Amino acid sequence: MLNFFRRDQRVDDFDETELSQLLAGFSIEVMPRTAAKIEDFRGLLPEETRVYIAHIEGTPIDDMVATAKRLHEAGFPVMPHFPARIIKDRKTLENWIERYQGEAGIDQALLLAGGVDKPHGDFHSSMQLLETGLFDKYAFKHLHVAGHPEGNKDIDADGSSAEVDAALDWKQAFAQRTEAQMAVVTQFAFDAKPVIAWAERLKRRGITLPIHVGVAGPAKLQTLLKYAVACGVGPSLKVLQKRAMDASKLLLPYEPTEVLSELAAYTAENPDSLIERVHFFPLGGIKASAEWASARAGNTDEYA
């Protein structure tokens, strides 16, 4: 059921309490080069904010580990990316895990295929990384995986969701037979409707993994359009394109108020939804996203 706005509620008249509850415990993503521009994360993010570190092709592992160590020492739970297609082999994977754990005190990871067409070595999927058993060997507590509410043509070239659905079924089974605490973190979207429809479809399918919905933080419209096209954002891209055609909004910075207020209204009315948290892609800068989210977020003692 996608008519999640109450009849007397306008998009610009959202419930601040509902939004605050949805944003409680939000997470944010950084890269080593963007994190280096932030002098003190403790003055920017609430305590216990999970910080993901994106591992872009060509980024030295030394930079990744150093960034993870800095954030861990500042008191934040840190979740580095492990992109399967840029990891050469099992030895390299184990070296990365050992370094993150030994040098930076890390015990969690986001496992994903990675944004390169041709694998650099033995791995091409997050399932292969999980099958090595190395994350269990080194007692990584939280293992998150990627989700694609609007599909992923790199995986399902025919436009279906057959392969991504099968992969998520496999990961669900993995979580059930192991002690891994898993969640699904999605690509960013600009429209709540396809995200909600996807979450409901997964639940009907028997998936129980919590969903952390990806959204883009405040940014210039031109910046978002560039990233959205590059990252293969699906039909929700039309939200940005429509905005770009409105001269009165073209020069105004985008804020994720609308998509998040719609998600907040839905989760408030559907507390058993798989949608649990929000993950920010700070495409307009870490500071802008952190300040926007922190100003609207509630507090939570639960960390998952």
Q: What is the mean pLDDT of residues 38-63?
A: 96
The pLDDT of residue 160 is: 54
Residue with tokens 């080194």: 138
- The full set of domain ranges for the chain reads 16-296
Architecture of domain 16-296: Alpha-Beta Barrel (3.20)
**Res. 95: pLDDT tops 50:** yes
244 or 144: which leads in pLDDT: 144
Q: Where are the beta strands (DSSP E) in 84-194?
A: 108-112, 142-147, 181-186
Dist CA 161 CA 155 (whole Å): 8
Q: How confident is the model at residue 178 (pLDDT cuts 50, 70, 90)?
A: very high
**For residue 9, pLDDT beyond 90:** no
Q: How far apart are CA 188 and CA 233, in angstroms?
A: 7
Residue 4 — pLDDT band, cuts 50, 70, 90?
Answer: very low
How deeply is 48 buried, as exposed, middle or buried, from its count of CB atoms within 10 A (0-12, 13-18, 19+)?
middle
Instruction: Among 2-16, 88-102, 161-175, 247-261, name the one with the lowest average pLDDT.
Output: 2-16
Residue 277 falls in which region: left (phi positive, over 0), alpha (psi -120 to 50) or beta: beta
What does the alpha-carbon distance between residue 249 and residue 12 come to, in Å, rounded to a whole number? Answer: 15
Q: What is the pLDDT of residues 207-266, one digit of tens each?
A: 999 999 999 999 887 777 776 666 556 555 566 666 555 544 555 678 999 999 999 999
Mean pLDDT of 4-17: 54
The residue behind tokens 């932030």 is 38
CA-CA distance, 202 to 275, in Å (whole number)? 11
4 or 46, which is more confident: 46
Using the predicted structure, report yes or no on whether residue 14 has a pLDDT greater than 70.
Answer: no
The pLDDT of 38-59, averaged and rounded, is: 96
pLDDT, position 10: 41
**How confident is the model over 118-136, as pLDDT tens digits?**
999 999 999 999 999 999 9
Indicate the pLDDT class of residue 11, thresholds 50, 70 and 90: very low
Sign of CA dihedral 121, 90, 144, 108: negative
Q: What is the DSSP letter of 190?
A: S
> What is the number of alpha carbons within 13 Å of residue 183 lying toward its C-beta?
22
| DSSP conformational letter for 122 | S
Confidence of residue 115 (pLDDT cuts 50, 70, 90): confident
Phi, psi of 267 (to 5 degrees): -70, -30
β-pair type (78-83, 108-112): parallel
